[in-house]
Structure 1
């Protein structure tokens, strides 16, 4: 059985998670978030901590619309926030035309390889502070990356553009401060190691084609 100190620590961790989710869903604003996080640390009992998130915990519902039907309606704008936490979006998740992504003292992974995409370009408005964001896209996408970094890094791991028509347009806007943004280019189901091997082969093949295309020099 947990000690009183252990129960308090677990309650604080759960409260931080509830508050982070509430902020991500726009249920509370920044000022309310800061006030409640401070109150969580000052609270001396589990009941006091639970009271700070009572309005943010999901209540039972008898909704008549199945969850699958609600997910089938794509949004034009959405928000994803990781505050002292982590988020992962993989598989067939729905991507809005514009998504505001905030990662503060946290980690996020957005895998777009099998995501349900809207028609037209996709725009990600990124704000990473003391955090890490991994963005995974399939080969062939057009990437318009206008993200700056302040004491941080923005790295793109991709191979040469494939021949043929251009693919999905992805625009990145925002800033990385004391953090990192890494853009990975992988095929569906491909690991990071396998992707690196594939890119090496592609770069080598491109260099060989370019060399053969050069005019022969005079003897």
Structure 2
């Protein structure tokens, strides 16, 4: 019997590392789909294969031929001027992602000045009734094969510019009650549904979301009937 040690199998990659690699791959796929490098069929096929990957290396190999994301590529190729005056770096955006799942952002959430949300095959809800919005928020939404719901406070001012690609963006809001913080919605909805409603001032802010969402729909219908 040999005294030689039997080599142990390598440990599987940490789930966080694999999730991060998949998220980077998804962002690259969506970039290339948005700039027409990938067809719809190719995008869907690669996305399906991505969720069958078991290691970060396999996820990275799946998109290795697609190059860098647009933002990174622009940063590398942008000319640099020696005479540029000093400018403070913009505040880093909060990043949220939901992939094949459900996520609700609600309660006394403080989103900051800007937040980025990625939804892929998911249902994502932004309940802003009791969020701490201060001077307002810009929410950059990238939704793919997903449902996104946004419920505004009664006094929030809405500025929406979300482009649908084989999807829908429905502004189902009633007029704002006052001049509250500005909520700016930006981004795209590819094969996705984005619906925006305004909470009724007749309901307390702590009312269950489903009740507030239904009442907001009824209020929008009544406003259109007038």
Change (3 A) 1:30 1:157: same
User: Partner residue of 1:183?
Assistant: 196
1:77, distance to aligned residue in structure 2 (A): 2.3
CA deviations on 1:154-201 (whole Å, 9 max, x unpaired) are: 012222333xx4111011111111111111211422623333344455
1:148, distance to aligned residue in structure 2 (A): 0.9
1:196 aligned onto 2:191: no
Distance 1:184 1:151 in 2: 21
1:121, distance to aligned residue in structure 2 (A): 2.6
Change (3 A) 1:182 1:18: farther
Distance 1:39 1:167 in 2: 42
TM-score by length of 2: 0.56
Q: Runs of 5+ in structure 2 lacking a partner?
A: 1-14, 30-45, 59-90
User: Partner residue of 1:174?
Assistant: 187
TM-score by length of 1: 0.58
User: Partner residue of 1:143?
Assistant: 158
Q: Runs of 5+ in structure 1 lacking a partner?
A: 1-14, 44-48, 53-74, 208-219
Tell me if the contact between 2:114 and 2:137 (Cα under 8 Å) persists in the aligned partners.
Answer: yes
Change (3 A) 1:139 1:201: same
Matched length = 158
User: Partner residue of 1:72?
Assistant: none
Match of 2:123 among 98, 107, 117: 107
